[in-house]
A and B are shown apart, each in its own frame.
Chain A
Amino acid sequence: MIINHPILGPRDAQEFVYLGDANLINRPDGMTAGIEVFHDYLYNRDNPAGEHRELWYHEQGDRSWLVVTRNTVTHEILKVEMARDVAKAQGRSK
């Protein structure tokens, strides 16, 4: 597969490490959320046959974490974003 890196352009997916559902970005606050909430966050994930937002790490590249929107059936990649930008847009900061 080819991942169109937002900064570096098309790069071979072999350079990346796959993590999984990009929903991992939405980590609850450990000081307020309890075990149930964290349990949902960590284990209850959608596994769609179709569009899926997922985290990829450009380990053999610029070390950026990316959010890749990929069709799990066709492998078509619809969108690639910097995970840091996505995280900030979703309200994460410190």
Chain B
Amino acid sequence: MDKAWKALTGLGHETAETVEIGPYRIVERFDVALASLAVRRGQDKGFQAAAKKLGVPLPGAARHEAGKVFSAFWTTPEMWLVEADFATHEDIVSALKPGFAETASITEQTDAWVRFDVSGAGLVALFERLTNLDLATLPDGFASRTVIEHLGVYLIRHSATLVTLYGPRSSAQGLLHALEVTVKSVL
């Protein structure tokens, strides 16, 4: 690929942003490739085998599972979003398609989303002002779509101090703004 292709992040800059306010840290992640992976009707067996061979985890409903090269979270029955390192897997569809062949429908989703990793102590106090999910009682590895700032956002709880958000890329600035003002309100 021509080196002249300069990429812009969801926030519209050449490099990803990090915002630190008090104990909270919001990191824009620009280094993750994403693809949706859906099992074709009646292809379960081949699909599972291909996933195993490629090392693509297939977590259960509302779960995220980290793998070596590929990680994934459940989005809807029979569909996952697969994560991989962007530097090595920019064309993530081409990386998955040969393995899954006709057992899966695979669609590039990398730039459909803006990703923010939100970390720090006191995430419950922050997120209780942003989403109706009960972050305090959710298990680590929980992943679900929810509404934040009117936007459909995937929320993944990695631990009590680290949450990943995938929001619509076109509203990256609005989502970050919501995070920032809410952080200030709970400080």
Contact = CB atoms under 8 A, between A and B. Distances in A.
Interface of A: 7-8, 12, 14-15, 59-64, 82, 84
B77 A62 contact: yes
Nearest to A63: B76
B144 interface: yes
Interface in B54-69: 61-62
B145 A7 contact: no
A60 B77 contact: no
B61 A60 contact: no
B185 interface: no
Interface majority SS (helix, strand, loop, mixed), chain A: loop
Majority-rule SS of B interface residues = strand
A60 B146 contact: yes
Nearest to B62: A8
Contact of B75 (A12, A15, A62): A62
Interface string B124-137: 00000000100000
